[in-house]
Structure 1
Amino acid sequence: MSDTMSLATTASECLADAEEVGQVLIHGKCWAASDLAYLDPSQVSHFPVLCAEEVGRVLPDLDVWDAWPLADCAGRPIEWRGGELWFALAAPAFADPEERHGHARIHHFHRLGSKFRHLGVTMPEGLSPGSREWSGAARLEGSEVALYFTAAGMRGELRHTYRQRLFVTRSRLPTAGSVSFPEWSHPCELLAAGGPYQPADQSEGAIGEIKAFRDPFPWRDDEGRDYLLFTASSAAAPRAFNGLVGLAAWCSETGKFRHLPPLIDATDVNNELERPHIVFHNGRLYLFWSTQGKVFAPGLCAPTGLYGATAASIEGPWELLNGHGLVAANPENEPYQAYSWWVLPDLTVAAFVDYWGVDDPMAAAKPNGRDHFGGTFAPFFSLWLEGTNAGLATTRQR
């Protein structure tokens, strides 16, 4: 892929069942309220309740959340200095943890076993086109580190907005004796909103309610074709609950990504299908995303958790895992314990510790929210996958 800016393309409408764009026929999945009727609370896999010994902060004055590894084209973490190199959003530890979203920067960390060591802010001040940086992914492409990220807001804005755009920048691994990246390339826009995808250009909003065009994730299939997944909102249904898992394909003739129909369309079900990513396992593709109970449409009851779908190829047809999509949820008595799950090809699962040690739904809004906010890497867990079924394995990963 080149670093050429992509222009918006057009499409007649957003179809979640099947639509041909160029040479790619996409059979996505409409995530309907009727699918959630299959969700039996007694059969749900729940992450175990965390104990205090498992909530060790990286630094006392730094909150850490959404995380991803430097990986190869299949999503496998790259070995680096006896461990792995990880990226995550981070911000100073404010009295109100929710303030972190307005100050988010990408930082990098050295993972050795279950420990993460903070290495620093990843990109220099002023490189991003946004006023802050939101989630993405990282790939080792040849000898270069490609950092895919969301630019939130606009550089230099006096008041934070919620505009979201997808970018990539490139550098090389830190040299021996250094933990800082050499000079990053000028960020290049990957894909503009348009066609099936509503622009995320709100000047005001609230977390969980804003529209989405963020969380870029690159995927290469076994034939060497490159795709881009992202969290999106439906242009065909511009209303409160219109979340999508968006998809674009790289076109070598034009040197740009082009819009494809969404893989998952949750119109009238859910507003945010966050941080979508794909894992290949036993001959199938498994698509995962995170979502919160509070962003389901009124009248629908589903927990904060890791959700997913599966298909034999990127073209689909995509089927919800377990018939309803839920793979694993936070504990029933700890509904806010963790979030932003990231599944690796070996089926281990990373996340961050959110509000834990509390089962009061209002606790996050109380002055003692800081006392209950983890702001750190959660213990790794394991999944099992078998065809269209999935669940949480019983053992923690240390």
Structure 2
Amino acid sequence: MRIKAAPESYAPLITAQPRVIDSLDLWDYWPVQHADGHPAQIAGGTLFISLSAPILPDPDARHAMARMRLLHNVGANWHDLGPVLPDGLSPGSREWSGSAMLSPDGVTITLYYTVAGIRDEAEISFVQRLFQTSARLSVEKDSVILSPWATPKECVTPDDVHYSSDMTGGGAIGSIKAFRDPAFFRDPADGAEYLLFAGSLARSTSAWNGAVGIARRIAENGWQILPPLVDADGLNNELERPHVIVRNGLYYLFWSTQTKVFAPSGPAGPTGLYGMVAERLSGPWRPLNGSGLVFGNPPAAPYQAYSWLVLPDLRVQSFVDLVGLTEPPRDVAQARAHFGGTPAPELQIMLDGERAWLA
């Protein structure tokens, strides 16, 4: 309710952007990172993983067939390296967002990602599970190879105490439940390792029960689930792709959300990047700018971008969603005509204590 309709709260307008891959829609991308969060420099550039799908008549249909795609970004050029995982390796019907970390010796990449659905399911489901796997990284001349991949293992499971395992909310707007988007974080205070994720509160009385979940590594391949860092019970259903950076001794937690997943009975913010700040990972967390909003899509293009990722140097990456629309698309054809399906221009934010703004 404290969100102000101030110009500095809005991202600049995005114009049409060139596609990275002509035959595919791309969204929700993330770089391979070092444990401190900085993108790793590999073969003269940065490896990115993006969700991908063939260009379908309805761009929303991409979620039902998403697969991770490996990209190598060198300067202004993007190189398509094909699917991240071999066919048949992942135990779901599709692959959703996560994070990827390079080992200190530079030879292994560990991938944390969301397995959506069940392999060979007759009807698309919204079951979501968190898995991890790893592969050897090799660079031969200009070729980057990740192989072989280990058999993916489920790493964190909902406990039905803090996080619900019930995914029967379905896929209608504002109703899909969450146990997805694992993001690795190593706490510089003590070296402990965590996975943040988008979750849904267990035992909630509201259909809008989104939360930022967290689990702590307690063994080489073991994770202990912990209470949520932040919840939006009664307010918002999806706090997506949460992640933490540390800046000037403070912890900054960020997530993305959309206007359409706020509870209709309460206040709603713009589709945008939201965040909180604390002195330690365990909190207490305070909303940035008094409201939690860092910036939103502009009123002239409220659907233009989504899925923001803040890097330690305060660059912000996202993908081009629906460009040039002021209202929801009236039909599938209009949605396809305006869907970007490619990386958006990077933004830069500034942080000063409990204040955050676009540079």
Tell me if both proteins adopt one fold, taking TM over 0.5 as the criterion: yes
Displacement, 1:234? Answer: 0.4
Does residue 234 in structure 1 map to residue 201 in structure 2?
yes
Displacement, 1:59? Answer: 1.9
Identity level (%):
47
Displacement, 1:363? Answer: 1.7
Please say if residues 97 and 370 of structure 1, whose CA atoms lie closer than 8 Å, have aligned partners that are also in contact.
yes
TM-score (norm 2): 0.95
Alpha-carbon RMSD: 1.6
TM-score (norm 1): 0.86
What pairs with 1:136-215 in structure 2 (closer than 5 Å)?
136-142=98-104, 143-177=107-141, 178-194=143-159, 195-202=161-168, 204-206=170-172, 208-215=174-181
Number of residue equivalences: 353
SS of 2:260's partner is: helix
User: In the alignment, what sits opposite 1:71?
Assistant: 33
Residues of 1 paired with 2:331 and 2:3: CA distance?
A: 29
Please say if residues 308 and 317 of structure 2, whose CA atoms lie closer than 8 Å, have aligned partners that are also in contact.
yes
Residues of 2 paired with 1:338 and 1:80: CA distance?
A: 27
SS of 2:140's partner is: coil
What pairs with 1:374-385 in structure 2 (closer than 5 Å)?
374-385=340-351
Displacement, 1:365? Answer: 3.4
SS of 1:99's partner is: helix
Displacement, 1:236? Answer: 2.6
Cα offsets for 1:332-373 (capped at 9, x unmatched): 1100000000111100000000000222x1326342211100
Cα gap change, 1:43 to 1:168, in 2 (>3 Å) = same
Partner amino acid, structure 2, of 1:382: Q
Task: Please point out which of 335, 341, 345 is paired with 2:312.
Answer: 345
Please say if residues 120 and 180 of structure 1, whose CA atoms lie closer than 8 Å, have aligned partners that are also in contact.
no
Cα offsets for 1:4-24 (capped at 9, x unmatched): xxxxxxxxxxxxxxxxxxxxx
Of 195-204 and 294-303, deviating more is: 195-204
Residues of 2 paired with 1:334 and 1:204: CA distance?
A: 27
User: In the alignment, what sits opposite 2:217?
Assistant: 250
Cα offsets for 1:107-150 (capped at 9, x unmatched): 01111234322211100111111100000000012331001100
Residues of 1 paired with 2:166 and 2:149: CA distance?
A: 26
Partner amino acid, structure 2, of 1:124: P
Residues of 2 paired with 1:146 and 1:161: CA distance?
A: 26
Displacement, 1:159? Answer: 1.2
Displacement, 1:256? Answer: 2.1
Does residue 292 in structure 1 map to residue 254 in structure 2?
no
Higher relative contact order structure (alpha carbons within 8 Å, sequence separation ≥ 6): 1
Partner amino acid, structure 2, of 1:389: R
What pairs with 1:1-398 in structure 2 (closer than 5 Å)?
37-42=1-6, 44-52=8-16, 55-142=17-104, 143-177=107-141, 178-194=143-159, 195-202=161-168, 204-206=170-172, 208-222=174-188, 223-252=190-219, 256-298=222-264, 299-359=266-326, 361-363=327-329, 365-393=331-359
Cα offsets for 1:184-214 (capped at 9, x unmatched): 0011111111120001433843354211000
Residues of 1 paired with 2:22 and 2:178: CA distance?
A: 31
Displacement, 1:260? Answer: 1.1
Please say if residues 48 and 73 of structure 2, whose CA atoms lie closer than 8 Å, have aligned partners that are also in contact.
yes
**After TM superposition, what 4+ stretches of structure 1 lie above 6 angstroms from structure 2?**
none
Partner amino acid, structure 2, of 1:380: E
Residues of 1 paired with 2:123 and 2:253: CA distance?
A: 35
Q: Which runs of 5+ in 1 are unaligned?
A: 1-36, 394-398
Please say if residues 311 and 317 of structure 1, whose CA atoms lie closer than 8 Å, have aligned partners that are also in contact.
yes
Displacement, 1:255? Answer: 5.5
